[in-house]
Amino acid sequence: MSLSTSSLNRPGSTGPDLPTVPNDLLAIGDLDGSTIRGILDLAVDLKRDPTRFSTALADRSVALIFEKPSLRTRASLEVGLHRLGAQSVVFDQRESPLGERECVHDLGRNLERWFDAVAARVNRHSIITELADCCDVPVVNTLSDLHHPCQALADLLTLHERGIPLERLHLAFIGDGNNVCHSLIEAVVATGGRITVVAPPRHGPSTEVVATAERLGAATGGRIDVTDDPEAVRGVDAIYTDAWISMGEAEDPEKLEELTRFRVDEPLMSIAGPDAIFMHCLPAHRGEEVVDGVIDGPRSVVFDQAENRLHAQNAWFVARLS
C-alpha cells in the first residue's frame, strides 16, 4: 500500500522514485505533507528489500554528534548507514558541549571538508540551526530540546504499518508537551490528520508550534486540539506519551505531581477504545508516565517505533545523498 500517489517501484523502472527533500532536516516543519509521504514510501521500500540499497551510499561518510546519551539514535544511525554502504564517525560530546572547546561555526566548516552529512543530537535547538547555517553539507537534527523529527517520521511509518490512514488518523499525545510532542504535531497536521494534546496548562506544547500547525491545518485538513482533560482520548487511534522529565532537565517534583493524572494506564486505554494502540519513543519511566500493563501489553508498538527509526532515517539519507 503506497502512502503517496506515485509508487516506488513503477513497472519498468530501474529503481525507486526518490522524494525531493530540503538540504537540512531540522524540524518536521521543514517538510510538506507530500515530502513526508515520499520519505515514508521510501522507508517502506528500504525495510521490505534492504539489499537493493546496500550500496546506495557507497563512499559516503556521515558525522554523528552526540551531546546526550543515546541508545536508539546511535544504534539506528550506525547500523542503518552501514547497511547503505556508508561510513559513520561518532563524536561523543557529552562532556564537551558544542561551542565550548571550539565555536560551532569552525566545527561546521571543518566537518564539511570531510563528511557528506552531519547528524547531531544536541541540548539546544539553536546549536543545530547554527550548525546548519555554517555548514555546506546537509545537517540532520536527531534530537534537540524543541524538535525530534526523525522520531516523528518513524512514528508515522509505524502507524501506517498498523493500517491507519494518515489523513484519517486521530492521535492523542498525553503528558508533557515536549520536543517529541512538537514534531508529532507538525507531522500529523502536515499529513492531514488530527492530534489532540492532553497536558496540564503549565506543561503544554509551544504556543508557536500550535499556532503554526493551526495555520497549516487550514491547507491540509489537519487539526490540532489542546486540552487538560484526559477524557479527550476517547475514540482515538493511538495514545502516545513520553517521559515527563526530559533528558538533561532538572528533577521537578511539582511537575511530576501535576502530571500524575495524565499517566497512561489500563483505564485510560479503555477510554480510547479497544482498537487504540499505545506509543512511546522510549526510554520509558515505568510507573510514571505509563504502567507496565500498557507498555508490555498487546496494543503496545513501542519496539516497532524503535526499529522504524532506522528505516525512516535511512530513507531521508538515501533521498538526500544518493
**Band of pLDDT at residue 247, cut at 50, 70 and 90:** confident
Do 199 and 283 reside in the same domain of the chain? Answer: yes
Name the 3-class secondary structure at 176: coil
Most confident of the following: 4-8, 17-21, 123-127? 123-127
Portion of the chain with pLDDT greater than 90, in percent: 92
Instruction: Exactly one of 281, 305, 311, 320 is catalytic; name it.
Output: 281
Q: What is the CATH number of the domain that holds 36?
A: 3.40.50.1370
Is 103 catalytic? The answer is no
105 catalytically annotated: no
Q: Number of C-alpha atoms within 13 angstroms, CB side, residue 108?
A: 20
| Residue 309 a catalytic site member | yes
Same domain, yes or no: 134 and 224: no
Predicted TM-score (pTM) of the model is 0.95
Q: Specify whether 91 is located in the same domain as 136.
A: yes
If one counts the domains in the chain, the total is 2
Q: How many CA atoms lie within 13 A of 169 on its CB side?
A: 33
Q: Are 28 and 152 in contact (CB under 8 A)?
A: yes
Mean pLDDT of 137-156: 98
Please pick, among 74, 147, 148, 263, the residue that the annotation labels catalytic: 148
Q: Same structural domain for residues 192 and 295?
A: yes
Say whether pLDDT at 39 is over 80: yes
Q: What is the pLDDT of residue 3?
A: 58
Per annotation, catalytic residue among 309, 311, 313, 320: 309
Residues spanned by the domain of 91:
28-148+308-321
What does pLDDT average to over the chain? 94
Q: Over pLDDT 70: what percentage of the chain?
A: 95
How would DSSP label each residue in 44-86?
HHHHH-GGGGTTTTTT-EEEEEESS--SHHHHHHHHHHHHTT-
Catalytic residue among 24, 135, 242, 280: 242
Average pLDDT over residues 8-13: 33
Q: How would residue 270 be classed by pLDDT, with cut points 50, 70 and 90?
A: very high
Same domain? 175 vs 229: yes
Question: From the candidates 37, 72, 83, 121, which is the catalytic residue?
Answer: 121
- Three-class secondary structure of residue 168 per DSSP: helix
